[in-house]
Homo-oligomer: A and B are copies of this chain.
Amino acid sequence: MIALVCNCSLSFAQNGIVVFQTDFGLKDGAVSAMKGVAMTVDKKLQLFDVTHEIPAYNIWEAALRLEQAAAYWPKGTVFVSVVDPGVGSERKSVVLQTQNDYFFVSPDNGSLTLIAEKMGIKEIREIDEKINRLPGSAQSYTFHGRDVFAYTAARLAAGKITFKQVGRLLSPEIIRIDYQKPVLEHGVVKGTITILDIQYGNVWSNIDQKLLMRTGFKIGDSLLVKIYKKDSLIYSGDLLFANTFSAVPELQPLCYLNSLFNFSVAVNMGNFAATYKIGSGPGWKMEVRKER
């Protein structure tokens, strides 16, 4: 009886919201077809987006965007992430249920790395494509996004299938992208430049607020920031640690905590990344220490 209750609560953890993310762009009808499939499953679903402008095949960025947005949605939301360079190969199609009851429908190719770290894995199931596939689509080898991922996500979100009915339970492990995690060594904080906030050219790291607090850095400090591309020093400067861009004159650089509470650098009313030719990803590292 207890087990039954437990199964029931699992199967109704979904909330009817589906949030889509792809690297398809919005110039053609591919995203629209995915949403059409979802509406055909159940007109009462509510459909939203993270972004469809993930650079083609960029799994690292897919992982970051899910981490950035997912926690702000209601629990029970079903996310569909389709950045899938290995479509048709042996990579698995999975649904991950996090400890806090979000659902992520995605190829198991690293896209779920950061969400799994942040929210924890409750269960992972492999999508049984014999059952969970848009009727009539079996001959399509190349549009899993529409025929498997969107269809399964919609049916799960609408309660047409339980989480169990997605497919067989896998061991709670996923393919993970290897990247430099933030560390504090001898008063120096080291981390990775995870992403450029491209609209503004701000440079975001994975050095989080808690680690910074252990260093004793505080707003108003001048910090020595170094940026490396692999082992080459690309930028070095003393930057004010501020809580508003306007704390420094226009076109001057500063450092701050971004909306994810991560250490970041920017130019007030300017573009840090373009000015100093900074990139992002596992190859780009940042070091921060208090100026002496």
Contact = CB atoms under 8 A, between A and B. Distances in A.
Interface of A: 15-17, 19, 23-30, 32-37, 39-40, 43, 46-53, 56-57, 65-66, 68-74, 77, 85-89, 139-143, 146, 195, 197-200, 209, 243-247, 256-259, 261, 269
B200 A28 contact: no
Given A32-B69, A36-B74, 19 more contacts: A23-B199, A25-B198, A28-B198, A29-B65, A29-B66, A30-B68, A32-B68, A33-B68, A37-B72, A56-B200, A85-B246, A86-B246, A140-B261, A141-B243, A142-B243, A142-B244, A142-B245, A142-B258, A143-B258
B32 A17 contact: no
A12 to B, nearest CB: 15
Contacts of A65: 28-29, 32
A198 B256 CA distance: 34
A153 to B, nearest CB: 14
Given A68-B29, A69-B33, A88 B244 contact: yes
B88 A243 contact: yes
A73 B198 contact: no
A14 to B, nearest CB: 12
Tell me the number of copies of this protein: 3
Nearest to A137: B259
Contacts of A245: 85, 87-88, 142
A35 B51 contact: no
A243 B139 CA distance: 10
A72 B141 contact: no
A23 B198 CA distance: 12
A279 to B, nearest CB: 15
A88 B141 CA distance: 44
A146 B32 CA distance: 21
Contacts of A51: 26-29, 32
A69 to B, nearest CB: 3
Contacts of A140: 257, 259, 261
Nearest to A143: B259
Given A40-B73, A139-B209, A245-B85, A259 B56 contact: no
Nearest to A266: B142
A199 B56 contact: yes
Nearest to A84: B245
A24 to B, nearest CB: 6
B17 A43 contact: yes
10 contacts: A17-B39, A28-B195, A28-B198, A30-B68, A34-B72, A36-B77, A43-B46, A140-B259, A141-B257, A143-B259
Contacts of A28: 51, 65, 68, 195, 197-199
A29 B53 contact: no
